[in-house]
A and B are shown apart, each in its own frame.
Chain A
Amino acid sequence: MESFFSRYRNALVLITILLAQVIGLAVQVRRPGASPQDKGGVRLIRSWVVGVVTPPERLLHWTGRGIRGIWSGYIGLIHVRRQNQQLKAELGQLRLQEDSLAENARQAVRLQALLGFQEKYIYKTLAAQVIGASGTEQSHVLLIDKGSDSGLRPDMPVITPDGIIGKIRDVFRHTSQVLEISDETSGAGVILVNTRIEGVLRGDSWGQPQIVDVSPDDRIKPGEPVVTSGGDGIFPRGLAVGTVQRVLPNPEGTLVDVLVKPAANLSALEEVLVVTSTGSQIPPAMQQDLTQAARTADILAARLPSAGTPGTAPAQPAGATPAPAAANALPPPPPQPPAPRHPDRFSAGSVPPAADLVPGQPVTPIAGAATSGQPPAAAAPHPPPQQPSAPPKAAGQTAPQTTSAPRRPANPASKPAQSASPPQGGR
């Protein structure tokens, strides 16, 4: 017996070690729906290894960062002045855009409150340095230099200003593992911006992010932006994910996979933001921004009197006679729908108000409104009366537009859309 063990000692040691590891693998395999976090000894081993490996990585990282800092802070400052001027000009443009978007944002918040929609806003983020990766092609995992001592917890979203990166997987004391969206075991709820098609984003075996198992749709075109849908309960809604690269048929069925080019450069990450706190109320900082933008818009509207409201007539040409001052003092007339080219009984203003109709009686068109070829509003002595039974939501929706009308001209797209849209059923 002794000779057997001494003779096959090497092979027996190998078999024992392999058997122990296979049993260890079987213990670690998780059932579907179980928590993805490691437990007990596995977590301890990972913690030890990360604790040993990360200090030299931190050293290398900070050394490289210092060298880059010296280069970019002292040597590479040749075109800074010109770049500064460009950035200032860009900042002015962005402020104008912000003014035009602020009212839309306020309206969206109001409507969400009316609908009872639970939006998640980012309250607080924590910047972290990326100090390492898994080092293998099969695992798209990053190591960051913040851990449980900084308040990080598993499943916190990790983002950059460009787009989402992934989520926290394992948290150690001073470091954490981040599972990238390019990993095949990851998953993020996303939505295509134009087509409003929702899906789950995950990586394939080669690390290419894709929205899997999507119903075939010809409207999905390369270049369409993809954002988070908020349906996964991890990423807040509306964060940039990337753009559609191409659509491939799914080999396992009739569905398709949509390949996505990530908005953030996943292969060159240095600093990321961990979303440590979210909430359903609009954060104070954003509220302050919106208020500030509104004030700026008011000042702009006061200083630029030529900027008309959406309901007013378009700006007159340079040679036109200016309107008298008394006319300017009157309130602006309500917006008029364009005249129908071939008026019929469906044209706006061609039928009496709903309050005057009798059930069962045929509708008698208003004389001259549908046949004269004039706009209904011009044919009638007064504009069409407001619907008395309008819901409170619609009332709340229209009021701010009226009060905020001077702020709208900064958005050139909204003006023609409001003035040129034909009335419903006008054909």
Chain B
Amino acid sequence: MPLLASSRHEVGTHSHPWLVYVLAPVLAIGLQSFLSLHFPAFDLVDLPLLVTIYYAITRREPVTATIVGTLIGIAQDSLTHHALGVFGICKAIVGYMAASLGVRFDAENNGSRLLLIFAFTLEQTAILWLLQRKLLGQPFAWHWIHELLRAVLNSLVGVILFAVFDLIRHRE
């Protein structure tokens, strides 16, 4: 199962109806807020992160992915009591790297998607830890098992979510 892109077809970009670009982040943030209220374990899943990664690896434009990641992250920050920019910085970096790596990986392959989401979830947690503990001097809970579990869970949910998004896209 080759994970790296080997043909022009595999590195081709995809787009969605413009409404999807507006609604998907709003729905992701709203659902994240709503579901984690009724199912506390849903805190482990990060729907806004998954939307950022999907947008980045399908559009493959680092600048746009960075801006989109920033906006989604700041919107996510707005629902917390933290300073605006904590998730903004995390998702800007994740969007940039996902768009840059998306050119080299076969974004259609479920295996590569699984690996990318797993890696970017851990990356986001590492950046959060750096920002909270080192930059802002605030406590941050870290437990390896917990973070690995979170990464695995996000990967599984992400693969399913990406498959749903694939149904409503069109190739450029």
Q: Choose one: B74, B85, B140; the contact of A205 (CB below 8 Å).
A: B140
Residue of chain A at shortest CB distance from B29 = A53
Instruction: Indicate if B158 sits at the interface (CB-CB under 8 A).
Output: no
Report the interface size class on chain A: 35 or more
Report the interface size class on chain B: 35 or more
**Residues on the A chain within 8 Å of B44, using CB:** 137
Q: Is the CB of A135 within 8 A of B85?
A: no
**Residues on the B chain within 8 Å of A13, using CB:** 62-63, 66-67
Q: Of residues B34, B62, B96, B139, which shows the largest number of chain A Cβ atoms within 10 Å of its Cβ?
A: B34
Q: Is the CB of B89 within 8 A of A21?
A: yes
Residue of chain A at shortest CB distance from B74 = A45
Q: Choose one: B81, B83, B139; the contact of A25 (CB below 8 Å).
A: B83
Instruction: Indicate if B161 sits at the interface (CB-CB under 8 A).
Output: no
Docked Cα-Cα span, A52 to B36, in Å, equals 18
Q: Is the CB of B79 within 8 A of A28?
A: no
Docked Cα-Cα span, A378 to B138, in Å, equals 71
B166 CB, min distance to chain A CBs, angstroms: 24
Which positions 98-144 of chain A face chain B at CB distance < 8 Å? 130-139, 141-143
Tell me whether A50 and B78 are in contact in the complex, defined as CB-CB below 8 angstroms, given that A134-B33, A137-B141, A205-B141 are known contacts: yes
**Residues on the A chain within 8 Å of B88, using CB:** 21
A230 CB, min distance to chain B CBs, angstroms: 24
Docked Cα-Cα span, A206 to B140, in Å, equals 9
Give residues in B with beta carbon < 8 Å to A.
26-27, 29-30, 32-34, 36-38, 40, 43-44, 46, 62-63, 66-67, 70, 74-76, 78-89, 92-93, 96, 100, 128, 131-132, 135-136, 138-141
Q: List 25 A-B contacts (CB under 8 A).
A: A9-B63, A10-B63, A13-B67, A17-B66, A17-B92, A22-B85, A22-B89, A22-B135, A24-B85, A42-B83, A56-B26, A56-B27, A133-B33, A133-B36, A134-B36, A135-B79, A136-B43, A137-B141, A138-B82, A138-B141, A169-B81, A170-B81, A184-B138, A268-B38, A269-B37
Give residues in A with beta carbon < 8 Å to B.
9-10, 13-14, 17-18, 21-22, 24-25, 28-29, 42, 45-46, 48-50, 52-53, 56-57, 60-61, 130-139, 141-143, 169-170, 177, 179, 183-185, 204-206, 267-269
